[in-house]
Structure 1
């Protein structure tokens, strides 16, 4: 889950602070690392569950189609920005919200930023649910349920949210990614051991589910795993050789998609109908599994402030636009008052408490990730890029390009509606 606001550079450890300038400085290797960090996250640990719900063949096909569609729509955003850059009198389009404003005015900016705001909130809630489910499985003997663990984390997350510099937390983001890789390695190791032991029977695994609701459910999970649209324009602008971005993005998506397919397939093959919504919950309760789970949770505890930081900025930005808040926040010299600083701490604390409250009602990581993927992620990833592309480049597009854009527009809306219904009523 990415972000497109002021914290973009901080949210991705390798992204330089100059990434939003007109001249980027990042090399191809740095940009490749940024793309991977922006897209790959904890959602991958829910993919085996998506394969269980949809069937191994349907899950495989769904992940591939989601990867291709996401890649194509990311290129649409870059084309839209290039179109704006070709108009000399038009200020540079730096963010997704800027692009929304150029296409649809204030409504476009509001809609784009609102969806990204909801997406960031959804990602933050997913972090809390992920941590809660893993820790509750580790400390079963303490009778700590999901809600109890989440609210035990609240004081820690509030304290971390008061840290002014996100760069101090960036190493923990890399630490969490390392733990993700270790978790994937352990899962694959368990898969291989099951196959070699003779416990694995391919015939027992479903290729395509008979439950039609399982397909959009798995699709929502796949879209959630690929969501990183908020960072697209910043990543492209960060490159020293921006013309190489489409080719680099294609290579990154090919590798990520293959990794997703392999991990989802192997996880479902190993555990079949017993596959949990977070695959680490299926692992044997030994020291190596517990160490990885604790490492994952610890990394996410410290990267949660990075995920939620754009939400804080939006809320505080809206507050600062109000006259009464400006009087409280600044003194006559334009300096921040004690009351203003206290008000910022209070607003951040309230937001984290609200997110924790919402997370305590989430039935499970898989269901929630599919819901977020089916709704805001689908709208951000498919509907808005296709709409902006039609508005900005419509007259110059070939018939097949327009038809493809309309397919993404209509298909994205239908997917969002049907996927939401299935995620809510259950599959």
Structure 2
């Protein structure tokens, strides 16, 4: 629950584990049993595990962003920003591993905050978004503490209403927020954490001892409760904004162990969340309240454990309130210059404390407040912003720096030319004359004598040009797929059949789709044309039956399919000599050419408009013009291809 910056120079993984637990375990745990009541045990455990995994992955992204910025000298994300060495809000603890620190003297380090990463990634807008989310979420956490305190106090002293207790609590809390340095709040933080651990331990013990007293069938899944539980789960990882400070608190010579320590600790923390929520729900069933401590009955023995738990948690949350408010006041002091004008800072703190009281009066339900904050600010800080900053800072990793993009209009042409260059200049001395080498763009069918060392040929080809790496698929059971052809070896001769991939699901155009009839007819005709052009006689009938059955399943009428088959046969059997070629005139691209083409089209003469820029000119552009679009082409300088253009 503590949100202050951790002490610098922690070297022990055990101390770092404790620091992570302190930063993440908060009041959100108290609402987990109620969330399990809404969503169910199995669904809740699954959501908590997924949220935990995503939260850890997003927080590690922030660390990657930090080191990308430091490596670039503050120029990550396309911005150049002066890197300032920051003074920690809490000085290093000189008592931690003194001997080891003498061997590894501390060196000045540049400490980046979450807001700094946002500034470097997205500019001032990114930093402002982080600051707003931090302020709103921290104030929301403080409101949750106030709700807990007021509800429990009103139960023990019912003469005072929750609103009256709220008014009594605000003045002392305001006095605690006037402290300007975290070291003055350190004693309160220690006392709060000891009280918190004691209280949660007692709650765990009571849950397990009370689990058999409420017989009921626990809920396992509930779609209705999914959004609520998801928001509460995100709220529980309220320390997401602390990851950079936690990582910085690790001694520099042992900082490489932080990731493994952090992942293991967060795994244990997620398991703790799941166990705490499930045990609380299993103990009280449908009577589980939004704050689990409200279910604890008054003890009848000499020691009232329920009262002790509530008192410990109350004290813990009371002293955690100023710790949660400290990042907000520190940020606002720095932003508006209140640090040099103390009375204005005091007024700002008074406004913030009164604002939390107003929010509690308007939203007195702890579970609703948790889900509201989790679904908004916590989601932004834990998931959305880390991914956005990572994309902005590491965007150069997602650029294609070699080869050509999928769908490029000249991709097939350049690929074919490049392969021709390799075959004539590089592979001529590698490919022996004893084999048959048949290539279609970048797919090659090779026919070799028996006992030919194909693996050796593949290794020599791949070693010649590292950019082109061939994979090998050999004949199996006298069959070999090549593109959409399945080749059968039968009695020293070849037979052919249409090849269907094992993943093929025949997910084709449905007869009742919105496509026009010509398109539907053309699809079936092309299927039959492929069968007639590829299949050997013994496989043709089987393929035609398969086509007929496939489109019948898609609700095409039988007469429609037969008509398409008939049309395909006419195309196959029609002699090419009967086609009279049209006259074609090629004209340079101009408005005059467009006008001429309209006139000549009436005389059965087709006009082809040539592009004003040739492919050769396009590919010989300066490398700085890469990714510009000209005449519908995307420019990629390709050294090997330009010599052919």
Which bin holds the TM-score, normalised by the shorter protein?
Answer: 0.7 to 0.9
Other-structure match for 1:358: 359
Counterpart of 1:373 in structure 2 is: 374
Q: Spell out the pairing of 1:280-359 with structure 2 (5 A cutoff).
A: 280-286=293-299, 287-320=304-337, 340-359=341-360
Structure with the larger RCO, 1 or 2 (CA within 8 Å, 6+ apart): 1
The change in CA–CA distance for 1:398 and 1:40 in structure 2 (over 3 A counts) is farther
Tell me the C-alpha RMSD between the 2 structures. 2.1
Superposed displacement of residue 200, structure 1: 4.0
What is the CA–CA distance in structure 1 between the aligned matches of 2:345 and 2:397, rounded to whole Å?
48
Q: Which has the higher strand share?
A: 2
Which is further off, 72-81 or 301-310?
Answer: 301-310
Aligned equivalents of 1:397, 1:69: Cα separation in 2: 21
Q: Which residue in 1 is equivalent to 2:57?
A: 72
Deviation at 1:398, TM superposition (A): 10
Aligned-pair distance for 1:104? 0.6
Q: Which residue of 2 aligns with 1:233?
A: 244
Match of 1:250 in 2: 263
Q: What's the counterpart of residue 15 of structure 2?
A: 30
Distance 1:364 1:42 in 2: 14
Name 1:188's counterpart in structure 2.
204
Structure of larger gyration radius: 2
SS of the counterpart of 2:123? helix
* Equivalent pair of 1:278/1:365 in contact (CA under 8 Å): yes
| More deviation, 176-185/107-116 | 176-185
Name the SS of the counterpart of 2:112 in structure 1: coil
Which residue number corresponds to residue 127 of structure 1?
145
Of residues 270-279 and 280-289 in structure 1, the stretch that sits farther from structure 2 once superposed is 280-289
Q: 1:361 to 1:247 in 2, by over 3 A?
A: same
Q: Normalising by structure 1, what TM-score?
A: 0.79
What secondary structure is seen at the aligned counterpart in 2 of 1:360?
A: helix
Q: Using the alignment, how far apart are the partners of 1:163 and 1:2 within structure 2?
A: 15
Deviations 1:73-111 (A, max 9, x none): 111111111211221364356011110011111111111
Alignment map for 1:137-216 (pairs within 5 Å): 137-140=155-158, 142=159, 144-195=160-211, 198-201=212-215, 204-209=217-222, 212-216=223-227
Which of 115, 118, 121 is the aligned partner of 1:100? Answer: 118
Tell me, yes or no, if the aligned pair for 2:74 and 2:120 is still in contact at 8 Å: no
Task: Confirm or deny that 1:49 pairs with 2:39.
Answer: no
- Alpha-carbon separation, structure 2, partners of 1:353 and 1:104: 33
Q: How many residue pairs get matched? A: 361
8 A contact 2:204–2:276 mirrored in 1? yes
CA distances 1:321-351 after superposition (whole Å, capped 9, x unpaired): xxxx8xxx9xxxxxx6xxx433332222222
Could you tell me how far apart the structure 2 residues matched to 1:169 and 1:205 are?
A: 43
Going from structure 1 to structure 2, the CA distance change for 1:388 and 1:319 (only over 3 Å counts) comes to closer
Q: 1:303 to 1:184 in 2, by over 3 A?
A: closer
**In structure 1, distance between residues paired with 2:232 and 2:351:** 29
CA apart distance, 1:65:
1.1
In the alignment, structure 1 residue 221 sits paired with structure 2 residue 232: yes
CA contact (8 A) 1:217 1:370 kept: yes
The match for 1:416 is: none
Deviations 1:235-284 (A, max 9, x none): 11121111111101111111101111111001000111100111000001
Q: Structure 1 residues 200, 27: closer, same or farther in 2, change over 3 A?
A: same
Task: Give the direction of change, closer, same or farther, for the CA distance of 1:289–1:398 in structure 2 (3 Å limit).
Answer: farther
Change (3 A) 1:223 1:355: same
CA distance in 1: counterparts of 2:25 and 2:373, whole angstroms:
16
Q: Aligned to 1:169, what secondary structure does the other structure show?
A: helix
Counterpart pick for 1:82 among 67, 90, 104: 67
Query: How far, CA to CA, are the matches of 1:366 and 1:398 in structure 2?
Result: 44
1:270 equivalent in structure 2: 283
Alpha-carbon spacing, 1:74–1:123, altered in 2? closer, same or farther (3 Å): same
Moved over 6 A (4+): none
Contact 2:199 2:312 survives alignment (8 Å): no
**In structure 1, C-alpha distance between the alignment counterparts of 2:181 and 2:165, rounded to whole Å:** 27
Partner of residue 461, structure 2? none
Q: Residues 184 and 302 of structure 1: is their aligned pair in 2 closer, same or farther, counting only changes over 3 Å?
A: closer
Tell whether 2:384 aligns with 1:392: no
TM-score by length of 2: 0.53
What's the secondary structure of 2:394's corresponding residue? helix
**1:314: Cα distance to partner?**
2.8
Whole-angstrom CA distance in 2 between matches of 1:51 and 1:398: 44
Deviations 1:119-164 (A, max 9, x none): 1111111111121122222223x2x232221111011111212233
Q: Measure the CA separation in 2 of the matches of 1:59 and 1:398.
A: 39
CA contact (8 A) 1:2 1:230 kept: no
Structure having the higher helix fraction is 1
Is the 2:149–2:314 contact (alpha carbons within 8 Å) kept by the matching residues of 1? yes
Q: What is the distance in 1 between the residues matched to 2:209 and 2:240?
A: 37
Which whole-Å CA distance do the structure 1 matches of 2:74 and 2:372 have between them?
Answer: 41
In structure 2, the CA distance between the partners of 1:345 and 1:76, relative to structure 1 (3 Å rule), is same
